[in-house]
Amino acid sequence: MVRQSLGVVAAALAVASCSVRPQPAEVGEVSVPESPAARMFPVGAPSDYQLGGAYPPPAGVTMVVRDSTARPEAGMYNVCYVNGFQTQPADRELWLGERGDLVLRGNGGQPVVDPNWPGEMLLDTSTVEKRARLATIVGATITACATAGFDAVEIDNLDSDTRSRGALTVENNLALATQLAESAHDKGLLVGQKNAAGLAERGKADVGFDFAVAEECVAYAECAEYTAVYGQRVLAVEYTDNLPARGVCDDPNRPRATIIRDRDLVKPGERGYSYQRC
């Protein structure tokens, strides 16, 4: 899920030239143990974020994030996008049918939907039994990512409880996230936290996340919350409708792996496509 914009806050400027060389942990990081496997994450790698459709990455890119339905890019570090806490729009009928009791319901029994993404229904993480079933279903997608040849997964919508009208809790979602992280690690994949900066410390210490994908952490002044926990194992994705590239790249708190994309993440040649990196 692409985070909603705060609106354009400045005119677009040319992208600044920035370094992405791996470096040691930053002063001020929170001391949270990490798995040896997490050290395999390509710190500061020139990256692309391709959730709107796969295409040959721009020159110099060595890490790419793609949807679980896409294929990994040969010769690169590949991260597989998995919607762990909400449904994908194309799967609506499947979830409302045989999985109907796993969709969170509101007044009158209607599915609770993400107000920013009306095609996505929230999954009900409120009980141990439901979390176990969800872990099996989402775990199958994680397995498919591993089989396809991805190196890691990012788990989206960890913060769905904030859109649940009080029906879900942070603890519900962290419990499911832990199961999904275990599933990924069992398949030899690293697993990334997506957004929810305030949960970074628990995400690493309790869930077992190895890295983070942070949308608009520069725009929302959240980058330091991620790097304090994950060091430079953070991919920051900013959007052209919210901040100019120079404003992003000049921010001293941004992760070394920072890119600026169009909001809809379209492919080259499609209207609105934009890609820049720091």
pLDDT tens for residues 154-166?
999 999 999 999 9
State the DSSP code for 86.
Answer: B
Q: How many helices (H) and strands (E) does the chain have?
A: 6, 11
What is the spatial distance between Cα 237 and Cα 260, in angstroms, rounded to a whole number? 6
Confidence bin at 37 (pLDDT 50/70/90): low
State the DSSP code for 137.
Answer: H
Quote the mean pLDDT of the chain.
90
Give the CATH number of domain 36-277: 3.20.20.70
In degrees and rounded to multiples of 5, residue 154 shows phi and psi of -115, 135
Asked whether 125 and 168 are in contact (CB, 8 A), the reply is yes
Average pLDDT over residues 174-188: 98
Residues in the chain: 278
Average pLDDT over residues 14-22: 34
Q: Where are the domains of the chain?
A: 36-277
Who wins on pLDDT, 247 or 212?
212
What is the spatial distance between Cα 59 and Cα 45, in angstroms, rounded to a whole number? 13
Strand partners, 212: 193, 234
**β 113-114/63-67 pair status:** unpaired
The model carries a pTM of: 0.88
- pLDDT of 127 over the 50 cut: yes
Average pLDDT over residues 94-114: 95
Asked whether 196 and 203 are in contact (CB, 8 A), the reply is yes
